[in-house]
Each structure stands twice: as C-alpha cells, then as structure tokens.
Structure 1
Amino acid sequence: MRAIVYLSGPILAGILLAGCGQEQAQTAIAANAPLKTFPRATTLRGTVSDNTGPVKAGTVTLSTEAGKVLTSLELQDSQRYEIEAPAGTPLPVLLTYAPPPGKSGDTMTSVVIYPEISKYDINPTTTAIAKSAKAMGGYNHNNLVRAAENTAHVPDANKTTAGFRGDPTTQYGGWH
C-alpha cells in the first residue's frame, strides 16, 4: 500500500530550504507565517513601574511596530492603565510609556504579540526584553522568550530544555 502525502506551501518551503543555512530557512518560514490580528476590539491593561516603584503620571501609547500611533492615554494618579486595541489591528503592537513633559524618566516599552492575552505590564525589564528581541531579528515568540531568558533571572528549577516551565511572561516580569 502506498501513502500519498500532500504538503502545504510553508511546510514544503521549509523542507526544501532545510539544506540551506538554518537562518535562511527560518526567514523563509517566518515570511509565510499567518498574520495575527485582534479579532475584535480588545482592552489591554496592566501597570507601569520603574526601578523606584509605581509610575503614576505620563502617557501610555499603543502603536504599530512601524510607529503608527493607534491610541494613547494619560495616567491619572494611578499606575494602572486600560487602553483599547481596535479590531483588526495587526500584531505585534507596542505599549510605550513616556514621562510627562518636563519630568525626568525613561521611556519604557512592552510588546504585544498574542491577541488572546490582555495583561501587559510596562517596566524596565519589559523594555530590556523588547530591545533584545528586536536586536535578535524582531518581535516574535522565539525571540521574546530568548530575550526574557537572557534578561530576567530565571531559577534553574523553572527551566526546561524547551524553555520555561509555566508562563515566563508573568513569572519573570517578561514581555507579557
């Protein structure tokens, strides 16, 4: 008995490129990855803090990776924010905190890559993870996990050969 196997375009491209450099194969497969979007308007929420504690004044902006501002809000004497991502917004998007005019402080960033997750804190660790992932080639799951592993302290008991045991994004102040 013979079995016939049909391969889809991205799988076939990955197999054909397997003999090429691994970096080229990953690039080719990533280019064929489906675009994720927010299926409906989604409220993103979280807190803003810096190395000294809660940040209660400034602007939180939601923007595309290309820098197009989707919406923004002013913190109102609270470190908590809620901001709405419009339906159909392509991911990744960035949540960026900027201090109020005339006040000192650093701009901080958190990256949103999953439409089903709505809690994203913004702090120096999420900023370091975002910068590291961008330097690795962009905001995707693999780069963000690698960046989180390299940026945040992860107890050896919580690591596995595949990465984190559990959710690295909440356990280690990561990019979630």
Structure 2
Amino acid sequence: MVGNSLTSANNMPQTLESILGAEVVAITRGGARLAEFSNEKTRTGQRVREALSSGGFDLVIMQDMSHLAATNPEAHVRSVAAMSKLARSHDASPLLYGTWGYLVGCPRLEKLGMTAEKMCKLMSAGGQQAADVACVPLIDMASVAARYEKPEDLYAADGIHPSKAGSLLIANRITDLVEDLLASR
C-alpha cells in the first residue's frame, strides 16, 4: 500500500492484513501525493522501488492526496498512470483506492470553494477517469460514502480522515475487490 494519512489512519494496513490473511507492506507519508511514490528522486519513491525490487508483491494499492482527484484530475491521472506502470514493471497488479470527499461542515470545503456533494461527485469522477486511463480497478469510496446512511460515522473529527469505522469499511471494500481479483486469476 502506498498513500498518506488516509491510508495509515487507524492502522488500516494492519486491519487489511488481518482481514486478508496476507502480508501488507505500507509505505506512507502524511500529506503525500501519489506522484512522490513513483518518483525515483524522492525518498518515498526510493522506498517504494526498494520494496518492489525485493519481489513477491501481487498488488500495489495506491491512494492519492485527499482532494487531488477533485481539484486537479489531470495530475491525478498522471500519478495513477505512473504508479501503475511502476507496479506492473515489478509484476504487481495496481489497484486504486479512491478516497471520499470531505464531510459536510469541514472547513477545508470552503477553502476549496465547493460543497461536500460537489466534492464527492468530483472525487468519484476523477478517480474513475484515472482508473480508466491506467486500466486499474477502482475502490470508489466517494460513492460509498455518498450512499452511506450516516456518513458522519465514517469520518474522524476533522471531517477528512476516516474514523475507526471508516477505516474498517475501507479495508473491507479493498478486501472484496482483492478477493474478486484473485479469484479471477
């Protein structure tokens, strides 16, 4: 798994490891953009390359900055494509974990100049565009959160990061897709 605090929150990689019964290696950095993980000139990118070079990875689950799919979909597409290419060059299948938008009332929404509903739609569309261009499966958590009966239960107090229940839901959605992918091999 490569991503930022939306991936590492609540020890989600360890939760995923427990649910899947498989080893999960997480390379995360708070606030990171996905572009860092495929860039060999960054420390984070070097860590990813070292891990992938060790071999044995079936999947690379990638997650981008919390709002990039909504605010700069072109950069998001480029980042997902680059990380997907890197994963495939090491015989690993890429998978995109698309995050949800910010919760209604989150102060960052005002800074972005959008409503929670608009952000959710843009996150979903940007994630799907990136997944389509890179030919990777997408876990579209923006659509999941939009349909959730009480979305506020999925968020930590900051309205951005997942709560424990949110991280568990994400891990379960990833597990469902991973199991489907492995069954189709």
TM-score (norm 2): 0.28
- Decide which structure has greater strand share: 1
Specify the structure having the higher radius of gyration (Cα).
1
Point out the structure with the larger helix share. 2
